[in-house]
C-alpha cells in the first residue's frame, strides 16, 4: 500500500499542495469527452499526446481500473494576458512530469501523470507519437484519456465551471495514478 506520508512530502516539496487522494475507479470516463476533443479542440490530431494519439475510450477505462490509489491536483491561475496561458501550462506540465519522476524513483513503478492541459512540453509539437521529441516525458491530459473532469472533480468537492472570460481564475486539474 502507498506510503501517503512519503508521497505527501514529495507533493509538497514540489509545490503541489492542493490535492486529494482518490480511488482511480471513481474517475468518470465518457465517450462524449472524446467527441468534444474531436469536434471542438484545436489540438485534435495536432498533438502527439492528444487523440487520435491516445487509446480508445474502452482501453482508457481499463487503464484506470489497474490502479488502486491516485491523487488529483488542483491548480489555479489568473492571467492578465490570455496568451500567457501556453507558457504557464508548459511550465506546470514540466513540473508535473518531474513530480511523476520523483514518485517513480521512490518505488512506485506504475506512477503515471495526466497533465492539466495538453502536453505543450515542446513549443512546436511533432503531431504524432512516433515523431514526438519528448517520448519519455510527454503525457496526455485527462480529457485526452476520456476523463469527464467536471464530473470527476465534483465528486471530490473541487470547484469547476466553464469560464466565460479570460480574466477569470482558472481551476485546472492533473491526475497522478500511483499504484
Whether the per-residue pLDDT at 146 is higher than 90: the answer is yes
Reported as a single tens digit per residue, the pLDDT across 92-137 is: 999 999 999 999 999 999 999 999 999 989 989 988 899 999 999 9
Reported as a single tens digit per residue, the pLDDT across 40-97 is: 999 999 999 999 999 999 999 999 999 999 999 999 999 988 889 889 999 999 999 9
DSSP three-state, residue 65: helix
DSSP three-state, residue 105: helix
DSSP 29: B
pLDDT of residue 18: 98
Please state, rounded to an integer, the average pLDDT across all residues of the chain. 95
- Whole-angstrom Cα distance, residue 33 to residue 163? 18
pLDDT of residue 107: 97
For residue 169, name the pLDDT band (cuts at 50, 70, 90). very high
DSSP 108-162: -TT-EEE-SSS---SSS--SSTTT-TTTTT----TGGGTB-HHHHHHHTT-----
pLDDT of residue 24: 97
Amino acid at each position: 500500500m502507498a506510503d501517503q506520508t512519503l508521497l505527501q512530502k514529495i507533493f509538497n516539496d514540489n509545490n503541489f499542495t492542493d490535492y486529494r487522494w482518490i480511488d482511480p475507479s471513481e474517475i468518470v470516463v465518457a465517450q462524449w469527452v472524446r467527441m468534444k476533443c474531436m469536434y471542438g479542440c484545436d489540438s485534435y490530431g495536432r498533438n502527439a499526446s492528444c487523440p487520435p494519439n491516445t487509446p480508445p475510450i474502452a482501453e482508457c477505462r481499463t487503464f484506470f481500473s489497474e490502479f488502486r490509489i491516485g491523487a488529483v491536483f488542483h491548480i489555479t491561475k489568473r492571467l492578465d494576458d490570455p496568451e500567457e496561458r501556453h507558457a504557464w501550462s508548459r511550465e506546470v506540465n514540466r513540473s508535473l512530469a518531474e513530480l511523476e519522476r520523483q514518485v517513480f524513483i521512490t518505488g512506485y513503478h506504475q506512477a503515471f501523470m495526466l497533465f492539466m492541459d495538453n502536453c505543450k512540453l515542446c513549443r512546436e509539437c511533432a503531431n504524432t507519437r512516433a515523431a514526438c521529441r519528448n517520448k519519455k516525458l510527454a503525457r496526455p491530459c485527462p480529457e485526452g484519456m476520456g476523463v469527464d473532469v467536471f464530473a470527476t472533480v465534483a465528486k471530490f468537492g473541487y470547484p469547476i465551471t466553464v469560464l466565460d472570460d479570460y480574466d477569470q481564475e482558472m481551476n485546472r486539474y492533473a491526475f497522478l495514478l500511483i499504484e
